[in-house]
Chain A
Amino acid sequence: MVIPAAMRDQIVAHARAGLPNEACGLIGGRDGRAERFYPAQPDEPSPYYYRIESRDQIRIMNEIDEAGLDLIGIYHSHVSSPAYPSRTDSEQAFWPDAVYLIVSLAGGGADLKGYLIGESGITEEPIEIA
């Protein structure tokens, strides 16, 4: 998955702005290239859990459709744990075609990684910053 550097910076900024809670959002794109980043509202802000609020979810999905893009990524932050899917992330992954992006803010850093999560388990999807 290719992410423009400016979008990576937006994602990290959104994650930091959400502290102490996790932040979440969607990424629209084409052919594995991210083109638009959509910050989303969580149902209930929490440092340990996110669920994109249902009205925000349909609003953003419609915006992605209307822009002629595909949903290619679902992003959230881990405020103090590594950028690797937790058990909750795996159990609540219902979008096998989307890359689950996790930005870890642990230790003050910003480590962004991507994963496909499906029936066959967790596969890291390389992120190219371009």
Chain B
Amino acid sequence: MSTVRMPPILRQAVGGAREVDATGATVRELLDDLTSRFPAIKGHLFDDGGELNRFVNVYVNNEDVRLGEGLETTVTPEATVIVLPAMAGGSQR
């Protein structure tokens, strides 16, 4: 069992919790476990192809998984997993 820290935008969908427990040996398994229990977060976390939404960063022990093994990143029970939506925008032409 690992603990996943949820951002404010997803907390209501997981019952108001700042952190939720999830099971899985990889980030994908953890997030699949969460979305099976809290289906409302699925559209935030994944794109239509089942890959990580490009506006969502997932960190395992403070490392951005996108810069490593992505959804296949191994998660140990002691790991800290943090989901942070992007902080982005701009005037755009």
Q: Which residue numbers of A lie inside 8 Å of B, CB to CB?
A: 22, 24, 26, 40, 46-52, 54-55, 57-59, 61-62, 74, 76, 78-81, 85-90, 92-97, 100
Contacting pair B87 A74 (CB below 8 A):
yes
Among candidates A46, A47, A52, A58, residue contacting B86 with C-beta atoms closer than 8 Å: A52
Interface 1/0s, chain B 50-64, versus A by CB < 8 A?
Answer: 000001010100101
Q: How many A-B residue pairs have C-beta atoms within 8 angstroms? Tell me.
A: 89
| A94-B9, A95-B7, A95-B9 as given contacts; A58 in contact with B57, CB under 8 Å | yes
Judged by DSSP, the binding face of B is mixed
User: Contacts A51-B86, A58-B62, A92-B55; is A78 near B7 (CB within 8 Å)?
Assistant: no
Q: Are B67 and A86 in contact (CB under 8 A)?
A: no
Tell me, rounded to whole Å, the shortest Cβ–Cβ distance linking A118 to chain B. Answer: 9
Task: With both chains docked as a complex, state the minimum distance between the C-beta of B63 and any C-beta of chain A, in angstroms.
Answer: 8
Q: Check A50–B89 contact: CB distance below 8 A.
A: yes
Contact B93 A89 (CB under 8 A): no
CB pair A58–B8 under 8 Å, yes or no, is no
Interface string of B67-93 (1 = CB under 8 A from A): 100000000000000101111111111
